[in-house]
Amino acid sequence: MFPTADQIEHEAYLRWERRGGSHGNDRGDWCAAEQDLLLTLNYEVAAFYPLQAPESQYVGSKVRRVCRFCEQAAPITTFSATPLALPSFLENRSLFTYEECDDCHAHFASSVEADLKTFLAQLRIGPGLNSLSRTSIAALKGLAKMALSIMPATELHSFEDTREWVVNPDHDFDLRLFGELGCGLHVLPSIQPEPWTALVRRVDDEAPMPYMLFFVGTTHVVIQAPVPLSARDEDLDGTRTIIPRTDSSYAMGSESGRQAPSPFRANPHRIGTRHNANSPV
């Protein structure tokens, strides 16, 4: 579903109001409002977690632990620890997973998660976002791994190829599969009081957009990336795919003077949620 001109105009006006009515950014408000509405009209929240919640949160069940990535259980593999679902360098202190075995955890920590950490460090010290023309495949794999870590169990069957891809160490081979597919990295003012992570799910299979989008927000950066290789996206092969880009602090619900820990809770008219989402929003 695409927004109408009237819807975009109304959303752009609200953004102008939130900026205090200052002039000079009309085109920016319009473009960002259009992107924000593309997300709002076509996606619902599939999972949302604060990453520094007062109490620990857990993905999966402690009773019978099965790894999401190698799909093995004890005694074939071991679960001597309960690792963080997202690494600590993304400011995660409270979200853990029962569904990542010791071997897979060690593999990811030394490979794609380490690559993502390096990528984000380069982003902070480099000359700017415009100097990063494409996302490294290894870093994109790191984001896909995290998306799988928080994904509702009922959705995992649609991402079998994604699971195989994230454990494949041959990044050069993978490069030709994705072309210009990458992620959006949005540097925001450090006013978000809580880091968070979320998955949003496409509500209309006819929409030419990825089935699942992954978000993680820290006090310094918001990362948005499509989750690739979903069986729900097979009909998009060979077609022009549109990825909504919520590319400003206003669209992400963190405009100056406000504190909103999640882009999906900042506005009551934003993306709707179903009752079976992983975490209440």
Of 175, 234, 184, the closest CA to residue 210 belongs to 234
159 within 8 A of 148, measured Cβ to Cβ: yes
Could you tell me the pLDDT band of residue 16, with boundaries at 50, 70 and 90? confident
State percent of the chain over pLDDT 90.
43
Q: What rounded mean pLDDT belongs to the chain?
A: 79
Could you tell me the pLDDT band of residue 181, with boundaries at 50, 70 and 90? low
249 within 8 A of 255, measured Cβ to Cβ: yes
Return the SS3 of 224: strand
Mean pLDDT of 104-113: 95
Q: Where are the domains of the chain?
A: 5-236
C-alpha of 150 from chain center:
10
Longest dimension (CA), the chain: 64
pTM of this prediction? 0.81
Say what the pLDDT of residue 8 is: 85
227 within 8 A of 211, measured Cβ to Cβ: yes
Mean pLDDT of 167-191: 61
Answer with the residue of higher pLDDT: 86 or 131: 86
Q: How far apart are CA 163 and CA 68, in angstroms?
A: 8
Return the SS3 of 201: strand
Could you tell me the pLDDT band of residue 278, with boundaries at 50, 70 and 90? very low
Of 6, 96, 108, 114, the closest CA to residue 51 belongs to 96
Peptide linkage before 75 cis (omega within 30 of 0): yes
> Which stretch of DSSP H or E encloses residue 145?
helix 137-150
Say what the pLDDT of residue 57 is: 97
Mean pLDDT of 253-264: 37
140 within 8 A of 178, measured Cβ to Cβ: yes
Could you tell me the pLDDT band of residue 222, with boundaries at 50, 70 and 90? confident
Answer with the residue of higher pLDDT: 220 or 267: 220
Q: In this model, does residue 81 exceed pLDDT 70?
A: yes
